[in-house]
A and B are shown apart, each in its own frame.
Chain A
Amino acid sequence: MQFNSNDFGSNLQSEINITPLVDVVLVLLIIFMVVVPLLMEGYDVDIPRASADTSAQVAESQLILSIGSRACPILTPPAGQGIPKDCQVTLADQKIPVAELPARVASMLGGRPAEQRALFLAVDDRLNYEGVLRIIDLAKSGVEDLKIEFVAAN
């Protein structure tokens, strides 16, 4: 029956109420578990119009990156990460090692306004899809908001 201040305090605030905390945390957990696997990542690309204006557009001062199966022999999924060192690509008619690609693309397109930063890709049919995506990834790493447009390889 001794109501000193200590007794009062321990009775009233004896425990933090963790119920709302647990509630909120578990609901957040559920939300993330459901949403995260459904999120996707990738690359926005354009595909050429079948109509005639494509060739005219390409003929202008567009930056064309050609990836041939002879200079860049990625015919099976590349092991590990990155692109094999012996891969050479042709950027604006100049053959360069693929490692130089980000710097070259940046120097050629970095000065342009954002809506004109487009890279036209002519990719050999036989190349491995994963290898092509990795080259796109590399090309995009030099320039922000780089638009990728595929053109038919000769």
Chain B
Amino acid sequence: MRLGEPARMQAAINITPLVDVVLVLLIIFMVMAPQMRKGPDVNLPNTTKPNSQGDERGRILVSIDEAGGLWINDRPVAPDHFDESLRSAVGAETNPKIVIRGDAKLNFREVWEVMVAIEQAGFRGVGLIAKRAGAEGK
């Protein structure tokens, strides 16, 4: 039995530090994740079957908050400067994908005006972001 003992002592790797580090990483990402979201908090409309609009990164996010204020990505913009702000947000990207995050309480007119403004800035096709009914999140 003596011969077997040293082998038993080193048989298992001590996973405690590993789990420790990984859990700390997990907590860091949990804390960071809400802050990585671009733009203001918008109460998105609830629908049953929205299609995937892909990842938030790589999209130009135009948000319209409850009060009708405009945001491009994470900056509020004045309606007068919407065009130039949008163009500078797009930069040199050749095929930008623009999505509108509109608040559920808005009138259609406010969303329509933003769509027209996006079109006048020279872009075609937008995604209207909704939230799948019953899904968590904002």
Q: Mark A residues whose CB is within 8 Å of B.
A: 1, 7, 11, 14-15, 17-19, 22-23, 26-27, 29-30, 33-35, 37-50, 76-77, 81-82, 123-130, 132-134, 136-137, 140-141, 150
Contact = CB atoms under 8 A, between A and B. Distances in A.
Interface string B58-73: 0100000000000000
> Chain B: interface secondary structure?
mixed
Contact of A127 (B50, B55, B107, B126): B107
A11 B11 CA distance: 9
Contacts of B110: 129
What DSSP secondary structure best describes chain A's contact surface? mixed
**In this complex, which of A18, A22, A43, A82 has the most chain B Cβ atoms within 10 angstroms of its Cβ?**
A43
A37 B34 contact: yes
A41 B105 CA distance: 18
A130 B128 CA distance: 11
B104 A46 contact: no
16 contacts: A1-B1, A11-B7, A35-B55, A38-B37, A39-B53, A43-B128, A45-B125, A47-B115, A47-B126, A77-B104, A81-B133, A125-B108, A127-B108, A129-B45, A129-B108, A134-B46
